[in-house]
Chain A
């Protein structure tokens, strides 16, 4: 995960508290999705960024997950996200993230 984004996530977690924060991931593949998830839960695995060694344990969803899609106006989702969902390995990304969160859901 981009160092600047890591810094911003850390800042927001300090400002609003971990409980009131949900991170929406937009990673285009399974590997980067899992790295992003790890970064905002257990800390930066590369030990290069502001979240190195910091276990924020934040809740995270991918933009393709039904829980998130439900919250977005379908017209806007269709316009901005749907083509990417169709073109990327959306099912595999969602499944991997669900497994990473534990319990498959």
Chain B
């Protein structure tokens, strides 16, 4: 029998610069509805593609810079010149809004998304030139003349699509069903953004590694934050299968995993368990982007005169396969869970998902090179009075480790510096929850000097108002011996 030890064979990251879609983020859409002049304030603070491309945290997300570089270069990181302007992004592409919006229409099999004819004429050659996007374009989208688009907008049963700050609409999303609140244009747009970004992350894996083929992907687990469904079953799913179809993984089936921001870790655990148990040979775990989280803190950014930095959608994909003698191992014996009786206290949670697994495996803190959790970009959260999320979490983890005698009380600052990772990830919930670090972990555990890396994620279940509890899960990645 072959070795069924699950390993990570590839990991990709995708960023989409989507300034024109920021207005449809949850916070901006509510604010603009309440006070229409907010739209102009928002439009006046958006970044260009070049600014997003030169932005250090985006360089780190896409692997051009190491997370360490964030500690060496002082903030503000925006409005700084590019550090390595001519180098490619190793983990994946930074996709511009034109291609992304065109792909939304291509991915919409129910043809609710219509594009302006002239926009498609410009976008189609861009898609054709892109090795990443070309395989996704198998059909042409429905098109509208300028007059037809204008009359759709006048009728008002949907949402216009814009690119950047250009006031001329380039497309239109119709409601999926006039009587179904789960199929409004806004929700369809959110779900399509997630589907397209996730499919781009999957395609990026094939783009990077010619040995991994779409037909070898047997199962897709989507840990995205959307809820695909209809009025009789909101959140019915299964976006994973829609992603597999759009990405050309014809032999794959799939299912969605939900656990708020923590979902990528249980998805990786389940994917690894499917490989180790022999259910399938290869699993793709993928997290698509979150449209609602665009512009979440825009009011603070506008007020403080800084660019609206939440203009990036982000997606990550991870290929889990059988042991190949090289790739980093997913140690399923390490999985940390957060049982109900641990309650909602953050210290108890960290004891359950970090300390307990270390004790179970008889591992010292010294044996782990990186503890990775929420890596939100502090330049987004600090102006919004949210503090530095990563630093705060490491401080709390260090306090828990100190109170359990795993490190000395005088070692807290050193622990944070050596074992932590500074924040750099767009505030896209699940993507920021350790998942964005997987491509870095893969590089560090193969070409770099990392030996072991603990990924842990936490979920604010109380936001859904069905329990006051939170959840969390952890997983140990190890260099192949």
Interface residues of A (CB under 8 A from B): 29, 31, 82-84, 86-88
Flag if A83 contacts B385 (CB, 8 Å). no
Q: Which residue of chain A has the shortest Cβ distance to B385 in the bound complex? A: A31
A86 touches which of B345, B387, B399 (Cβ 8 Å):
B399
> When chains A and B are docked, how far (Å) is the Cα of A35 from the Cα of B399?
25
Name the residue among B387, B397, B398, B399 with the largest chain A CB count within 10 angstroms. B399
> When chains A and B are docked, how far (Å) is the Cα of A83 from the Cα of B385?
23
Flag if A84 contacts B347 (CB, 8 Å). yes
Flag if A84 contacts B409 (CB, 8 Å). no
Flag if A29 contacts B387 (CB, 8 Å). yes
> Within 8 Å of chain A (Cβ to Cβ): is B346?
yes
Q: Tally of A-B residue pairs with Cβ under 8 A?
A: 29
Interface of A is mostly: helix
Flag if A84 contacts B387 (CB, 8 Å). no
> Within 8 Å of chain A (Cβ to Cβ): is B99?
no
CB of B371 to closest CB in A, whole Å: 14
> When chains A and B are docked, how far (Å) is the Cα of A79 from the Cα of B447?
43
Name the residue among A29, A31, A87 with the largest chain B CB count within 10 angstroms. A87
Q: Which residue of chain A has the shortest Cβ distance to B402 in the bound complex? A: A86
B contact residues around A31 at 8 Å (CB): 385
> When chains A and B are docked, how far (Å) is the Cα of A49 from the Cα of B400?
35
Flag if B385 contacts A86 (CB, 8 Å). no
B contact residues around A84 at 8 Å (CB): 345-347, 396, 399
A contact residues around B400 at 8 Å (CB): 83, 87
A contact residues around B395 at 8 Å (CB): 87-88
B contact residues around A87 at 8 Å (CB): 346-347, 395-400
Interface of B is mostly: helix
Q: Which residue of chain B has the shortest Cβ distance to A90 in the bound complex? A: B399
Flag if B387 contacts A83 (CB, 8 Å). no
8 Å CB interface, B342-394 against A = 345-347, 385, 387, 392
Flag if A86 contacts B409 (CB, 8 Å). yes
> When chains A and B are docked, how far (Å) is the Cα of A31 from the Cα of B345?
20
A contact residues around B385 at 8 Å (CB): 31
A contact residues around B403 at 8 Å (CB): 82-83, 86
Given A84-B396, A86-B412, A88-B399, 5 more A-B residue pairs with CB atoms under 8 Å apart are: A83-B347, A83-B403, A86-B402, A87-B395, A88-B396
A contact residues around B392 at 8 Å (CB): 29
8 Å CB interface, B131-148 against A = none
B contact residues around A86 at 8 Å (CB): 399, 402-403, 409, 412
A contact residues around B345 at 8 Å (CB): 84
8 Å CB interface, B399-427 against A = 399-400, 402-403, 409, 412
CB of A26 to closest CB in B, whole Å: 11
B contact residues around A82 at 8 Å (CB): 403
Q: Which residue of chain B has the shortest Cβ distance to A31 in the bound complex? A: B385
CB of A73 to closest CB in B, whole Å: 17
Q: Which residue of chain B has the shortest Cβ distance to A86 in the bound complex? A: B399
What 8 A-B pairs come out closest when comparing CB atoms? A87-B399, A87-B396, A86-B399, A83-B347, A83-B403, A83-B399, A87-B395, A31-B385
> When chains A and B are docked, how far (Å) is the Cα of A82 from the Cα of B345?
12
CB of B438 to closest CB in A, whole Å: 26
CB of B102 to closest CB in A, whole Å: 42
Name the residue among B385, B395, B403 with the largest chain A CB count within 10 angstroms. B403
8 Å CB interface, B42-89 against A = none
> When chains A and B are docked, how far (Å) is the Cα of A70 from the Cα of B15?
52
> When chains A and B are docked, how far (Å) is the Cα of A83 from the Cα of B351?
11
A contact residues around B397 at 8 Å (CB): 87
Q: Which residue of chain B has the shortest Cβ distance to A32 in the bound complex? A: B385
A contact residues around B346 at 8 Å (CB): 84, 87
> When chains A and B are docked, how far (Å) is the Cα of A87 from the Cα of B416?
11
CB of B63 to closest CB in A, whole Å: 31
> When chains A and B are docked, how far (Å) is the Cα of A29 from the Cα of B346?
14
Q: Which residue of chain A has the shortest Cβ distance to B393 in the bound complex? A: A87
CB of A51 to closest CB in B, whole Å: 20
> When chains A and B are docked, how far (Å) is the Cα of A31 from the Cα of B300?
15
A contact residues around B409 at 8 Å (CB): 86
Q: Can you report 22 residue pairs joining A to B where beta carbons are below 8 Å apart?
A: A29-B387, A29-B392, A31-B385, A83-B399, A83-B403, A84-B345, A84-B346, A84-B347, A84-B396, A84-B399, A86-B402, A86-B409, A86-B412, A87-B346, A87-B347, A87-B396, A87-B397, A87-B398, A87-B399, A87-B400, A88-B396, A88-B399
B contact residues around A88 at 8 Å (CB): 395-396, 399
A contact residues around B399 at 8 Å (CB): 83-84, 86-88
> When chains A and B are docked, how far (Å) is the Cα of A31 from the Cα of B382?
12
> When chains A and B are docked, how far (Å) is the Cα of A86 from the Cα of B385?
21
